[in-house]
Amino acid sequence: MDLIIILMAFAFGACIGSFLNVCIYRIPLNISVVTPPSSCPGCKEPIRFYDNIPIISYLILRGKCRKCRTSISAKYPAIEFLTGMMAVATWVYFDTAGSAIVYFIFISSLIVITFIDIDYRIIPNAITLPGIPIAVLAASFFIPGMTPLQAIIGLLAGGGSLYSVALIYALLTGKEGMGGGDIKLLAMIGALTGIKGVVLTVLLSSISGTIAGIGTMIFKRKKDLKLAIPFGPFLSIGAVIHLFFGNQLINWYFSFMR
């Protein structure tokens, strides 16, 4: 693929990543993602357009506000870079422009969900509730091999599986073990990826979540198992791995089991 097209895809993705940063900051605070314009967290000075160029402005200003020199978190350019790379990956990997655009929008929503869940331990309904019907429609019309019925089955399998786990856990322990946000997130993932995507996402997220949980316990030197970590990021990671490597992993598994 032409290098210029790849660079254009990255630049477009990085610009979207800049908007995702706004969403990650404002959605949990119930602030409009459109107005007011972005401003310095220290002096509240509106950020000029030439200081708001994704990644580049951060490097030029050395991660500080031009006016008050307040340090700006490196998370912002990191998210812009990540989103740019995801734009390139979806454009290169998927066969049709329609599926590439749908998957990029889907991954962008997962990026927002991931960082909000890490910071606030919530998965915003503002993304998942409209995301579920949109995912059904997008899968039905833009994803090769997916039908409306398969999308709906994936939705029910995703949301229903986690809801069943949460209900059984609550009945056995009297405590909430799985948040409603995780249930709606997996329903959205299932609507776009189908039941096969749900199974692989749950498997991959469980493995990565277990590894991260054990690593966190060791790092923090906690000896009990009552360590709360958000599950949304691991569901998101599992879904993205499925999009790019799902078929290869499934084929490898069945060839290994022969």
* Per-residue pLDDT tens over the stretch 102-122: 999 999 999 999 999 999 999
Give me the mean pLDDT over the 95-107 stretch.
95
CB 124 within 8 A of CB 113: yes
Between the alpha carbon of residue 163 and those of residues 168, 178, 184, the distances in Å are: 9, 8, 9
Round to whole Å and give the CA distance between 31 and 29: 5
In terms of Cα–Cα distance, which of 36, 173, 19, 177 is closest to 83?
A: 19
Q: What's the pLDDT at 76?
A: 95
Instruction: Give the domain-ending residue among 93, 124, 153.
Output: 93
Q: Are residues 255 and 172 in the same domain?
A: yes
Q: What's the pLDDT at 165?
A: 85
State which residues form the domain around 41. 1-93
- In this predicted structure, the answer to whether residue 247 has a pLDDT above a threshold of 70 is yes
Between the alpha carbon of residue 161 and those of residues 8, 69, 142, 183, 239, the distances in Å are: 40, 49, 26, 8, 15
Quote the number of domains for the chain: 2
Round to whole Å and give the CA distance between 92 and 258: 32
51 vs 79: which has the higher pLDDT? 79
Instruction: Give the domain-ending residue among 40, 71, 93.
Output: 93
Q: What's the pLDDT at 229?
A: 78
